[in-house]
Amino acid sequence: MLTEENVPQQTGPDELLITQIRIAAMPGEPEPPAGPAWILLAGPRIQAVGPMNEPVPPPSGRRETLDGDGMLALPGLINGHCHAAMTLFRGLADDLALHVWLMHHIFPAEARHVTPEMVRLCTRLAAAEMLLAGMTTVADSYFFEDEAAHAFAETGMRAVAAQGVIDFPAPGVPDPAENVAVAAAFMARWQDHPIVRPAVFAHSPYTCSPATLMRAKTAAREADALFFLHLAEAGDEAARLIDPAGSSPLRHVHALGLLDPQTVCVHCIWLDDEDLDLLAASGAGVVICPHSHAKLASGMAPLPGMLRRDIPVALGTDGTASNNCLDLFREMDLGAKMQKGHLQDPTSAPARDMLTMTTSLGAQVLGYGNELGRLTPGALADIVLLDTNRPRLTPFYGSELLVYAGSGADVDTVLVNGRVVVRRRRLMTIDLPATLEEVRRLAQRLPHPAASGSP
Ligand SMILES: [Zn+2]
């Protein structure tokens, strides 16, 4: 029997049998067993799924059992965009316009306070927050991304880790001429890691020249890696483009040849129909970040137009400086309601779309195809057990309720790659009290009255 004392470390057992669960019906997926069920894992993958009244295949190696206690099993949630280490800047500069926030607060704070130690530690804090909220995969983009990748590997959280590229001196990259070379070297170091996939993150077409964007995309192509960039986040971005090759941010990056199925455009708020058609034809993915868009008043991403064109869309939290909370349940809720309110159409963004964007469709955006975001044989075993025995989740007619009433706080147990990383809401891979204390110590160096203990 698997207990808190003997949960598998580093890797899962040969086989892990999760019993007495209910499997969440997810939109577009095969109907799961209706009653109590089991899931059998073999190493990092799901081997079989069945109802409790049907026999489990006999063991072919060391098998452990995890009692699901009647909880709801759903695919681990996929966070399509984050800057994990920015937990240090949570609440530091709120209620400001995007450009003022970024140029006068965030970039200066990053220049002074982002160090390898800070990235390792603050990414660990973010991983703790995300795992406890049922996120099993994150696409992270930052500087000193080696340290972030180590933090994800240590904590057992699956990550697409993207090294930042920007055309001015950045943490760890004092000479911007080296930015793409640094990213290429980073990707070479992290090839073939079991849970961390390296990638490139070009900050935006208003902080990277066309030449930098194209060189960064070429480096990603050579490494068979994803290429992320912030795109069309602000209404005035077209006027800020460096050497525009098109009349909109999207047409600019399209003209530069940056769009293909291994490109992920983050935000994509200011797109017109022509932009959407170009995006759909390119196969590139999109990530929208509802709380970040709402808090920075960036605008409303044309989500229905994207989904109607079969553009793959994921949901992201963005970093905690612009959110300020890493909980995809909140993003699903706001993501649906923002669209409904804006379009004055309650059918415009149904809950089921939010569920697919954080699971199967999110997996597609991050290049995992059918391997992630579903509880079917052959898929990677990233699983959340959620406690629905709560007032706000009773009665429980279907998974859509999670979008409007669920919370990361309902998550009880989390597995990534077949390994138990959260059990009974306790982190198995992270010393949380020590991490909190270390981040508080770092925060004392920041120029914020609250950070220095002043009232
Ligand atoms: Zn971002």
What confidence tens digit (pLDDT) does each residue in 72-127 have? 999 999 999 999 999 999 998 899 988 888 889 998 999 999 999 999 999 999 99
Q: 44 pLDDT exceeds 80? A: yes
Taking the centre of ligand 1 as the mean of its atom positions, its distance from the CA of residue 203, in whole angstroms, is: 8
CA distance 51 to 198: 38
> What is the percentage of the chain residues whose pLDDT exceeds 90?
91
Average pLDDT (368-380) is: 97
Average pLDDT (146-168) is: 98
3-class SS at 209? coil
pLDDT at 1: 39
Around ion ligand 1, residues with a beta carbon closer than 5 Å are 318
CA distance 81 to 291: 12
pLDDT at 98: 85
Q: In the predicted model, what is the mean pLDDT of the chain?
A: 94
Question: What does the block give as tokens for 190?
Answer: 């992290």
CA distance 340 to 346: 5
Of the candidate ranges 55-69, 93-107, 140-154, 200-214, the one whose mean pLDDT is the lowest: 93-107
pLDDT at 128: 98
CB–CB of 230/266 below 8 Å? yes
- Nearest Cα neighbor of 318 from 307, 334, 306 is 334
Q: 293 pLDDT exceeds 50? A: yes
Taking the centre of ligand 1 as the mean of its atom positions, its distance from the CA of residue 72, in whole angstroms, is: 31
Taking the centre of ligand 1 as the mean of its atom positions, its distance from the CA of residue 177, in whole angstroms, is: 22
Taking the centre of ligand 1 as the mean of its atom positions, its distance from the CA of residue 230, in whole angstroms, is: 6
CA distance 179 to 439: 28
Taking the centre of ligand 1 as the mean of its atom positions, its distance from the CA of residue 83, in whole angstroms, is: 6
| Residues in the chain, overall count | 455
Distance of CA 118 to the CA centre of its chain: 20
Strand positions, DSSP E, 268-382: 285-288, 313-315
User: Where residue 448 falls among pLDDT bands split at 50, 70, 90?
Assistant: low
Q: What angle do CA 75, 290, 323 make, to 5 degrees?
A: 95
> What pTM does this model have?
0.95
35 Cβ neighbours under 8 A, 6+ residues apart: 22, 51, 52, 53
Taking the centre of ligand 1 as the mean of its atom positions, its distance from the CA of residue 141, in whole angstroms, is: 7
Q: Are strands 77-82 and 285-288 parallel, antiparallel or unpaired?
A: unpaired
pLDDT at 8: 40
User: Where residue 449 falls among pLDDT bands split at 50, 70, 90?
Assistant: low
Q: 12 pLDDT exceeds 90? A: no
3-class SS at 345? coil
User: Where residue 447 falls among pLDDT bands split at 50, 70, 90?
Assistant: confident
Taking the centre of ligand 1 as the mean of its atom positions, its distance from the CA of residue 7, in whole angstroms, is: 35
pLDDT digits over 162-220, tens only? Answer: 999 999 999 999 999 999 999 999 999 999 999 999 999 999 999 999 999 999 999 99
User: Where residue 446 falls among pLDDT bands split at 50, 70, 90?
Assistant: confident
Taking the centre of ligand 1 as the mean of its atom positions, its distance from the CA of residue 115, in whole angstroms, is: 19
DSSP code for 102: I
Average pLDDT (340-369) is: 97
Q: 38 pLDDT exceeds 60? A: yes
Q: 295 pLDDT exceeds 50? A: yes
Taking the centre of ligand 1 as the mean of its atom positions, its distance from the CA of residue 55, in whole angstroms, is: 47
Q: 3 pLDDT exceeds 50? A: no
pLDDT digits over 419-428, tens only? Answer: 999 999 999 9
User: Where residue 9 falls among pLDDT bands split at 50, 70, 90?
Assistant: very low
Burial of 60 (C-beta count, 10 Å sphere; 0-12/13-18/19+):
exposed
Taking the centre of ligand 1 as the mean of its atom positions, its distance from the CA of residue 94, in whole angstroms, is: 16
Taking the centre of ligand 1 as the mean of its atom positions, its distance from the CA of residue 383, in whole angstroms, is: 26
Taking the centre of ligand 1 as the mean of its atom positions, its distance from the CA of residue 297, in whole angstroms, is: 15
CA distance 376 to 356: 15
Q: What angle do CA 36, 37, 42 make, to 5 degrees?
A: 160
Q: 6 pLDDT exceeds 90? A: no
Taking the centre of ligand 1 as the mean of its atom positions, its distance from the CA of residue 267, in whole angstroms, is: 8
CA distance 314 to 364: 9
CB atoms within 10 A of CB 257: 13
Amino acid at position 62, single letter: R
Q: H or E segment at 100? A: helix 98-100
pLDDT at 198: 98
